C-alpha cells in the first residue's frame, strides 16, 4: 500500500514521517505539505481531480487529507468532505457500510500540538528537562485547548527550553518518536490512528 498525505504545514510532515511507518508498517509514503490552511484548501480541488483519475488505476494508492480544525471542527470537516465529494471520490466518512474507499479526511483538534499534549510522557521522554509539574494548570482534555501550540511552548519554556521563539517542526521531529496511541488522551489523534488502520 502506498499512502500520500496532503498536509497543512511542515510540522505535520515532520510528525508523520515518524508516525506513518509506525502506524502503517510495510507501506510507502509521500508527504505533501502546504503553506498553511489557506494554501491547502486552495490547491486541494486540483489535487483531488488528479487523484480521481489515478485512484481507479492504482488500487494500492491511499490518500489522507489532514488539517488543523482550529476553532471550528464541524465546519472544517464538512469543507474537506465536500471538496472530496466534488472530485467524485468517496471517503471513509461518506462510504456506506462495506463500500470500499481509498481516501480519509482527518482533523487535528484543535491543532497538531494537541496530539503532543495528549501524551505528556512523550514530551518528557523527548525533553528530559520537562517534568510533570510543568503541565500544572493545563486543560486535561487536549482537544479542547484553544491555543495548543502556544500551550506546548509554555510547557517547554517552564523547562527553560525555547525561551525566544517557537520551533514547531523541531517539536514535531523530537516528540513524535515517543507518541504512544494507546495512552494518548487526544481523541482526534486516536481517530487519526484508527482512520489509518482502516485504510488497509
Domains of the chain listed by start with CATH number: 2-110+185-198 (3.40.50), 112-178 (no CATH)
Nearest to 67 by CA among 30, 40, 28: 40
pLDDT (0 to 100) of residue 200: 87
Provide the pLDDT for residue 112. 97
Per-residue confidence of the chain (200 residues) as pLDDT tens digits?
Answer: 999 999 999 999 999 999 999 999 999 999 999 999 999 999 999 999 999 999 999 999 999 999 999 988 999 999 999 999 999 999 999 999 999 999 999 999 999 999 999 999 999 999 999 999 999 999 999 999 999 999 999 999 999 999 998 899 999 999 999 999 999 999 999 999 999 999 98
The pLDDT assigned to 139 comes to: 94
Cβ atoms of 114 and 71 closer than 8 Å: no
Q: Rounded to whole angstroms, how far apart are CA atoms 112 and 4?
A: 18
What pLDDT was estimated at residue 5?
98
What letters, b where the CB count within 10 A reaches 16 and e where it falls short, cover 167-192? ebbebbbbbbebbebeebbbebbbbb
Measure the CA–CA gap between 93 and 76, rounded to whole angstroms: 14
The predicted pLDDT at position 179 comes to 98
Amino acid at each position: 500500500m502506498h499512502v500520500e498525505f496532503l498536509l497543512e504545514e511542515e510540522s505535520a510532515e515532520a510528525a508523520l514521517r515518524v508516525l506513518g511507518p509506525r502506524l502503517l508498517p510495510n507501506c510507502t509514503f509521500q508527504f505533501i505539505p502546504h503553506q498553511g490552511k489557506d494554501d491547502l484548501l486552495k490547491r486541494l480541488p486540483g489535487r483531488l481531480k488528479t487523484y480521481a483519475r489515478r485512484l481507479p488505476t492504482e488500487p494500492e494508492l491511499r490518500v489522507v487529507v489532514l488539517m488543523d480544525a482550529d476553532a471550528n471542527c464541524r465546519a472544517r470537516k464538512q469543507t474537506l468532505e465536500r471538496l472530496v465529494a466534488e472530485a467524485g471520490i468517496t471517503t471513509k466518512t461518506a462510504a456506506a457500510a462495506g463500500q470500499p474507499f481509498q481516501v480519509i479526511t482527518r482533523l487535528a483538534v484543535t491543532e497538531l500540538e494537541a496530539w503532543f499534549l495528549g501524551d505528556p510522557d512523550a514530551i518528557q521522554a523527548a525533553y528530559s528537562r520537562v517534568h510533570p509539574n510543568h503541565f500544572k494548570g493545563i486543560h486535561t482534555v487536549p482537544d479542547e485547548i484553544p491555543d495548543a501550540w502556544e500551550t506546548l511552548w509554555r510547557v517547554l519554556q517552564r523547562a527553560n527550553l525555547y525561551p525566544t521563539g517557537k520551533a514547531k517542526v523541531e517539536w514535531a521531529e523530537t516528540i513524535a518518536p515517543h507518541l504512544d496511541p494507546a495512552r494518548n488522551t487526544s481523541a482526534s489523534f486516536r481517530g487519526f490512528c484508527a482512520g489509518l488502520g482502516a485504510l488497509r
